[in-house]
Chains A and B, each alone.
Chain A
């Protein structure tokens, strides 16, 4: 009797473990989707399964913390799912290492996609991912602060000079006109300062990645423009320890009147301080020149080790119809036809949408992490007052050149 009970218990536990473990069968598509879109992912999967009874979509939820390592481990060990959502910038490395499948035959209406997004995930003449979400920074500002400083909140600055003038007017009574980052993860400061270099016609390295050009007069002038917000006291004293999150906190607290960020900050600010009258503007450019921004966002990739690549492709085509891409993205969709959906017809989002065509990918070089570190150290030396912008960028240029061999 006792042994029968034991057997029953054993059988039950085996059954339950089978039930909870994802076992991929033929006709299954395993999809790694980030947690922020979980609900919408499940809705889409249900719709697809209703229309394609032979296929089961299994969703495994990922979180952004540690995701690059997790994806790389899964890809390298060949234990990956059939579809993974990754940031655009990671795709190139996977493609070069032969870890993912090209998707030229999967993408529909390629000409409908924002070109920079397609460029981002292309390598060696092939398309290695389908971008579905794109975003850039704009500038978020406090309309009440603008009014109190005698500025017209309906007419935000358009040029560098106007931005500096506005920041000066806004800086008073313990408030800082324009918050920049100078601390935290290096990406925070790269994403906020590199666009200014681009607008002015400069870059960190040349397009063919053979030469460091961060000490060119155009780049130095842009770096000077960026760091001057701190040097002239228009950005908080804590600039050297601030990242994007710290700026958002200072903005919510009313200490910072304007700062660069993406539209994803808007709901967070409204939730914590509903009294802030939010405004958004495109990032000012030098007079007579065009604005620029770093293009960020997410793509779908199909690992080489996918158990079911054919079904995965079919599902990807379903995910990337105009409607579904527009429905699923957290920020903006990569398809121009999707951006016309009513969901994106929000006046607050307009400046961010206007920035999209000016979004550019960051270079893909094997030493990019070190290059960014050298550049960021240079920015910090200027903020610390160790060196002038020119001296600092000369040193950074030398260090970056050594990394390009």
Chain B
């Protein structure tokens, strides 16, 4: 009786959850094994979507995009947090200014960066050529070697403040006694960072990194707004490929098949990550 009453209370929430999460996921799964007439076709859609070499290329691009973005976001974010944790005049102001990239809407930031990177009209080429650092303008978004790093750069710029603010919060919760004890034992600054600061903020970095990985895997806005995945699919990541398949080519079934595979891969990455890093019995 008691347990039934409990079920009745959570039922509305469960129904909403089902409609918003379980139904779309199941429906995507169903779409992926049917054709556009709704007939069951088995794994045909999966075969069709895996055949073009662009799928493999998109997967590699996604890998570089995620690793590059997350690595530099964490690196820069932690460095910025360590700096912002020092005592200096105007610290509050610098802390707020650091947050600006994060609070700008992605589409605004991406479009602005696209203009700044433009070969003819862009301010980046203008500054570099007029300062004498470059002899002639560089096509940042039109060369195979620079376009993905440029995209990663925008993504890092956009999200490192988030890392910084999370890590800063963690830094401020470290008890001062630990540092005092270390100093009495003769530790220098780097010893403190290595043996006190980093272990103390480790759980935060772990959680933030996981979030960053998931966000990078879902990030369509920046790349789509700047290059649409071009040139020649150089910056095409899997989520954009799914978007293109569904909304530009109206191939919902193939898009669903790709989504299912992508979903499985992401789940796998997240599980492995949680198992290997976050679960470790640690100093925290």
Contacts and interface: CB of A to CB of B under 8 A. Distances in A.
A386 B144 contact: yes
Interface residues of B, number: 20
Nearest to A381: B232
B52 A402 contact: yes
A182 B231 contact: yes
B233 interface: yes
Interface in A355-405: 367, 369-370, 373, 377-378, 380-381, 383-386, 399, 402
A238 B142 CA distance: 7
A83 interface: no
Contact of B232 (A255, A377, A399): A377
B142 A241 contact: yes
Interface string B218-238: 000000000000111110000
A237 B52 contact: no
Which range holds the interface residue count of chain A? 20 to 34
B248 A369 contact: yes
Contacts of B139: 237-238, 240-241
B51 interface: yes
Given A240-B139, A383-B231, A369 B249 contact: yes
A195 interface: no
B76 to A, nearest CB: 27
Interface in B114-154: 118-120, 136-137, 139, 141-144
A239 B234 CA distance: 16
B276 to A, nearest CB: 37
A183 B120 contact: no
B142 A386 contact: no
Interface of B: 51-52, 54, 118-120, 136-137, 139, 141-144, 230-234, 248-249
Interface of A: 182-183, 236-241, 250, 255, 367, 369-370, 373, 377-378, 380-381, 383-386, 399, 402
14 contacts: A182-B142, A241-B139, A241-B142, A241-B231, A250-B120, A380-B230, A380-B232, A383-B231, A384-B142, A384-B144, A384-B231, A385-B144, A386-B144, A399-B52
Given A236-B119, A241-B231, 10 more contacts: A183-B230, A237-B120, A241-B119, A241-B142, A377-B233, A380-B232, A383-B142, A384-B231, A385-B144, A402-B52
